[in-house]
Structure 1
């Protein structure tokens, strides 16, 4: 009889533990649709934080039942806030590149000029014919 009471007591507590945690899931991608690795995802005004995996996916747990505000940040991207409704699935959240990365991608930075295709094309891939003749004569002699 004591065992039955103990089992009933344990079974009656299971719903409290099972429903105490609500999950927020989603995926963080960049403007091109590529996953963002190691982006920080946190529930606003809490200590609950996680990081995206190699696929850009994340899972957060919360005691709160619905309507979360999450903050997302990652180096090279503008910080983003996102409201999650009940159900907890955000789908894909797109992070926008920050000013430095945009500058690099649109070709207006000095770094881009150093690696610009035309300069490689002229100097390395298609050298001047006299340079070619000089280098081949060294091997022929």
Structure 2
């Protein structure tokens, strides 16, 4: 009886390994949402590092990845032209990686416009979404893994 149980356990483990190897051979598509709500340059760079590291790793095993960085509140500074400490890095990433999107919170933009008297000008890579929080919820509902640096 113990031998039968051990054999079943071994077959289960081997079939799981075979499934994992088969999935890797075919390539898997991953979806990642990265949340930025802090104006600290270290946090912004960590978010971009997370995106680059995930992309690099998944590419090394034959997988693809879709990434979306969503910024709101103080984190919107990441996408404000002439204020973003990471604008050049975002521009380079968007040129070399087609499956990355930079989403700017429309609610934050409206609040900034009230304070400034005009809407802030965003870097060209940023796309405005109505709500950063709602966008993160939609992405998670669509199967995106949520990352917060």
State the TM bucket, normalised to the shorter chain.
Answer: under 0.3
TM-score, with length taken from structure 1: 0.25
Greater share of residues in strand: 1
Higher percent of residues as helix: 2
Q: TM-score, normalised by structure 2?
A: 0.25
